[in-house]
Amino acid sequence: MTYTIDQLKDIAKDVRIDCIKMLTEAGSGHPGGSLSSADLLTALFYTQIHRTKENALSDDRNRFVLSKGHGVPTLYAIFAQLGILTKQDLLTLRKTGSILQGHPDYDRLPEVEASTGSLGQGLSIAQGIAMAGKIDQKDFRVYCMLGDGEMQEGEIWEGLMSAPKYKLDNLCVILDYNKGQIDGSVENVMNIEPLSDKIKAFNWHPITIDGHNYDEILNAYEEARQTKGKPTFIIAHTIKGKGVSFMEGKIEWHGSAPSQEQCDQAIKELSAL
């Protein structure tokens, strides 16, 4: 099925609303980075990964590794949209015994592809899967979402150095570049700029986009598919807390759950988009 941009926007709106409800019910979690990634991941799962309940564990499926594991509410919400989870499942987020842990847990929910959350490790996992695909002569693609604070981890740069060596053109990294991490702005904690120049110097194919502009997102995903001989790195500039006025661009919403009153206001704003 082909989705229009308006349809994708509507799905992403529902994903954001579900994220707010989940985090409010849980009383803890990370709304800022969950909301900033909603457009990128909605477009990815509906136009590139083509995930369904039936193919969620197929050997030939396209893979996705959420390296910034604290942003997993967005992934869970998309799974609910796709019928892999139910809306009731979402309300068990972070509760004892739930399959929906605060960070992806492969043992409880294999559809998340990998247990992540110790920042810096997801790219290595994704690269290993991409290498296995090449060795087995499979056609699947591997996508990995990183956080911008996570770019300060040394293991990320080891992956950035080694993936081009193996010409992993089946690997695409998406950076949710929302400019904030738990300790403050990325620029002040440890500036990662000039990022595109660095990525290019490591022999990746860099693409810089507005991570909330669907034309740019979809064009970037297609460009990544067409790029041969090297992996692609999409630098997606986003807004932390996107869609909720009192959260947008606010570092304090990196890891604080909304109250019920704030939840109601957030849902009202998101519903009006």
What is the tens place of the pLDDT at every residue in 127-184? 999 999 999 999 999 999 999 999 999 999 999 999 999 999 999 999 999 999 999 9
Class of residue 186 by CB neighbours under 10 A (exposed 0-12, middle 13-18, buried 19+):
buried
What is the tens place of the pLDDT at every residue in 199-229? 999 999 999 999 999 999 999 999 999 999 9
Contact 250, 189 (CB under 8 A): no
Q: What is the pLDDT of residue 1?
A: 80
Describe the strand order of the beta sheet including 205-210 as a list of residue ranges: 63-66, 142-147, 171-177, 232-237, 205-210
In single-letter form, the type of residue at position 55 comes to N
Domain range for 143 is 5-271
CATH number at residue 129: 3.40.50.970
What is the tens place of the pLDDT at every residue in 84-111? 999 999 999 999 999 999 999 999 999 9
Q: What is the pLDDT of residue 38?
A: 98
Total domain count, the chain: 1
